[in-house]
Amino acid sequence: MATTMTWSQRIAAEGMEKGLQQGLQQGLRALRKVVLSLLEQRFGPLPEETRAQVEAISSLDRLTRLSKRVLTARSLAGLRLG
Domain boundaries, the chain: 7-79
Distance between CA 48 and CA 79 in Å, rounded? 16
Whether residue 1 is predicted with pLDDT greater than 60 in this model: the reply is: no
Sign of CA dihedral 71, 75, 78, 82: positive
Confidence of residue 19 (pLDDT cuts 50, 70, 90): confident
For the entire predicted model, the pTM comes to 0.76
What average pLDDT does the structure give for the chain? 90
